[in-house]
């Protein structure tokens, strides 16, 4: 008989509808909570027949059944935070509002009124009943359309989002997160309004319609982080960052646009060790094969991004680069995440155009390297530092992202090599990219072989 080794986790609760398609509702909430390291419990308010294309049917559970579920969970579990989603009827909204004053844990109220597909999920009378529930909320998280229904204020920009948020505080909520995903624009701006002021969380809009379940996932992520002990500001910041990644790397499922990827952060964390090992394998090959002929004066670095990389600290590289010595090439230190902001920014920007790219290396560039690249007939792009805008050149770290955008935007096929001809005080370089570590190593060693054959 084995000794048990229980895993203690914070507990969160979701009170919402069931989505047969798995992308939203209870299913999305539990998946998100689990991915955040939180044990998820549930109270199901309604059962819907829906998929990635829309809602075809809905059955609301009797009030007594919903109340019994709520009693069962709160009587047994030490709930750290809860969130509400689809409550469907005024009766169920009032039920939760009546029970909420007894909650000794934070409550996230997501006033689900309309599905992403446009289908109505709430009775008009229930919309009016939300005022009492919002009064019990630690934070209420309406999108622009829901905020307008609740407050009568059309959310069209940061100013109106703040105004709507303040109106929701007047209902009694401690905070309001007015989401900007439904407001047109190149960037999405979410406004967290509290009695202390407004904090805006902004990120580039992802060009996709696969946002099914995004509101559910965001509210569940906030609740999970609150259950873990985060303060509200940190919980919202982390949750909005999670959602940006979850939307960009959405699940391609169903015949509709798809669904947000609730597991994306967990899967990204799991890939870190393998990514670092892959970078190390490339470094080891370069040392064994001695690629001195391709190492520039500034040194070479190998960068590897996790499959769902979005930030510099999602990219592993050699700490201190690889340099030439009398006995060959050697890394100065080991591989770690965040070790090379320059290579990370270049690779992250390149992935905006080809998300399959995960590895990159910088090599020297001169006439001989250019001729060798021509012999190989690889797709090659370049960028001209002379065309770099002053505001980019003056800010440390922005050149790499700008250069990658110049090289990859509109390129077909994806370049294998990108030439940076340098500038005053800037050494010319060649950057080689690949989808996997083995291909990257082979490309560099092939380039060196052709380069040596020309001498």
CATH of the domain at 154: 3.40.1190.20
pLDDT of residue 181: 75
51 and 193 co-located in one domain = yes
Residue carrying the six token digits 């077909």: 412
CATH number at residue 399: 3.40.225.10
Q: Is residue 15 part of a domain?
A: yes
Average pLDDT value for residue range 38-49: 96
pLDDT of residue 63: 96
192 and 64 co-located in one domain = yes
31 and 179 co-located in one domain = yes
pLDDT of residue 317: 97
The tens digit of pLDDT for each residue in 392-417 reads: 766 666 788 888 899 899 889 999 99
Which region among 77-86, 90-99, 390-399, 431-440 has the lowest average model confidence (pLDDT)? Answer: 390-399
pLDDT of residue 394: 61
Alpha-carbon distance of 58 to 46, in angstroms, equals: 7
333 and 258 co-located in one domain = no
236 and 276 co-located in one domain = no
pLDDT of residue 425: 78
Say which residues have a Cβ less than 8 Å from residue 232's Cβ, sequence separation at least 6.
Answer: 106, 138, 139, 174, 175, 192, 194, 226
Nearest to 134 by CA among 181, 180, 77, 87: 87
pLDDT of residue 117: 55
Q: Is residue 392 part of a domain?
A: yes
Alpha-carbon distance of 253 to 238, in angstroms, equals: 26
pLDDT of residue 120: 59
Band the pLDDT of 55: cuts 50, 70, 90: confident
Q: Is residue 1 part of a domain?
A: no
pLDDT of residue 99: 96
Band the pLDDT of 122: cuts 50, 70, 90: low
Domain boundary among 248, 269, 290: 269
Domain boundary among 229, 252, 269: 269
291 and 164 co-located in one domain = no
250 and 326 co-located in one domain = no
Nearest to 133 by CA among 164, 71, 89, 180: 89
Nearest to 235 by CA among 77, 107, 43, 84: 107
Give yes or no for a contact between 42 and 33, defined as CB atoms under 8 angstroms apart: no
Alpha-carbon distance of 202 to 106, in angstroms, equals: 24
176 and 304 co-located in one domain = no
Sign of torsion over alpha carbons 361, 364, 366, 371: negative
Average pLDDT score, the chain: 92
81 and 134 co-located in one domain = yes
Residue carrying the six token digits 């992403």: 116
Average pLDDT value for residue range 136-143: 96
pLDDT of residue 389: 82
Band the pLDDT of 115: cuts 50, 70, 90: low
Q: Is residue 5 part of a domain?
A: no
265 and 296 co-located in one domain = no
The tens digit of pLDDT for each residue in 355-378 reads: 999 999 999 999 999 999 999 999
Q: Is residue 6 part of a domain?
A: no
108 vs 384 pLDDT, higher one: 108
Q: Percent helix, strand, coil in the chain (nearest 5)?
A: 40, 25, 35
203 and 276 co-located in one domain = no
pLDDT of residue 443: 97
Q: DSSP class of residue 37? A: T
Q: Which two tokens stand for residue 163?
A: 């105004």
Which region among 64-73, 140-149, 165-174, 176-185 has the lowest average model confidence (pLDDT)? Answer: 176-185
Q: Is residue 3 part of a domain?
A: no
Give yes or no for a contact between 418 and 403, defined as CB atoms under 8 angstroms apart: yes
13 in helix, strand or coil?
Answer: strand
Q: Is residue 251 part of a domain?
A: yes
218 and 290 co-located in one domain = no
The tens digit of pLDDT for each residue in 304-358 reads: 999 999 999 999 999 999 999 888 999 999 999 999 999 999 999 999 999 999 9
What percent of the chain is modeled with pLDDT above 70? 96
Domain boundary among 269, 298, 328: 269
Number of domains in the chain: 2
Q: 311 lies in which domain range?
A: 271-453
Q: Is residue 2 part of a domain?
A: no
Band the pLDDT of 430: cuts 50, 70, 90: very high
Band the pLDDT of 158: cuts 50, 70, 90: confident
The pTM score is 0.89
């Amino acid at each position: 008989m084995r000794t048990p080794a229980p895993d203690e986790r914070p507990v969160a609760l979701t009170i919402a509808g069931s989505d047969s398609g798995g992308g939203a509702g209870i299913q999305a909430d539990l998946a998100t909570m689990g991915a955040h390291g939180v044990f998820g419990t549930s109270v199901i308010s309604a059962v819907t027949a829906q998929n990635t294309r829309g809602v075809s049917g809905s059955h609301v559970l009797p009030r007594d059944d919903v109340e019994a579920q709520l009693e069962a969970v709160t009587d047994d579990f030490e709930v750290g935070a809860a969130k509400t989603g689809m409550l469907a009827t005024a009766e169920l909204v009032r039920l939760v509002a009546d029970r909420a004053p007894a909650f000794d844990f934070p409550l996230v109220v997501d006033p689900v009124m309309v599905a992403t597909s446009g289908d109505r999920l709430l009775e008009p009378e229930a919309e009016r009943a939300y005022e009492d529930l919002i009064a019990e909320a630690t934070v209420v998280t309406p999108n622009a359309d829901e905020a307008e229904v609740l407050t009568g204020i059309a959310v069209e920009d940061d100013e109106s989002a703040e105004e709507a948020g303040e109106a929701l505080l007047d209902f009694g909520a401690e905070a309001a997160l007015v989401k900007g995903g439904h407001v047109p624009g190149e960037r999405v701006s979410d406004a967290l309004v509290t009695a202390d002021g407004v904090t805006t969380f902004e990120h580039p809009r992802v060009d996709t319609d696969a946002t099914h379940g995004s509101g559910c996932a965001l509210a569940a992520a906030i609740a999970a982080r609150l259950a873990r002990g985060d303060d509200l500001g940190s919980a919202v910041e982390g949750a909005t960052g999670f959602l940006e990644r979850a939307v960009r790397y959405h699940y391609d499922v169903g015949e509709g646009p798809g669904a947000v990827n609730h597991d994306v952060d967990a899967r990204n964390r799991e890939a870190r060790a393998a990514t670092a090992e892959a970078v190390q394998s490339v470094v080891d090959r370069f040392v064994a094969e001695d690629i001195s002929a391709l190492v520039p004066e500034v040194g070479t670095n190998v960068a590897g991004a996790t499959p769902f990389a979005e930030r510099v600290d999602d990219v592993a590289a050699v700490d201190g680069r690889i340099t030439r010595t009398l006995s060959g090439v050697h890394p100065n230190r080991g591989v770690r995440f965040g070790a090379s902001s320059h290579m990370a920014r270049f690779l992250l920007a390149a992935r905006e155009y080809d998300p399959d790219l995960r590895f990159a290396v910088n090599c020297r560039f001169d006439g001989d390297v250019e001729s060798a690249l021509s012999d190989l007939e690889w797709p090659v792009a370049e960028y001209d530092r002379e065309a770099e805008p002053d505001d980019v050149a003056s800010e440390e770290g922005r050149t790499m992202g700008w250069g990658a955008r110049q090289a990859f935007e509109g390129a077909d096929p994806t370049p294998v090599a990108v030439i940076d001809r340098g500038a005053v005080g800037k050494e010319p370089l060649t950057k080689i990219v690949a989808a996997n570590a083995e291909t990257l190593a082979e490309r560099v060693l092939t380039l060196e072989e052709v380069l040596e054959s020309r001498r």
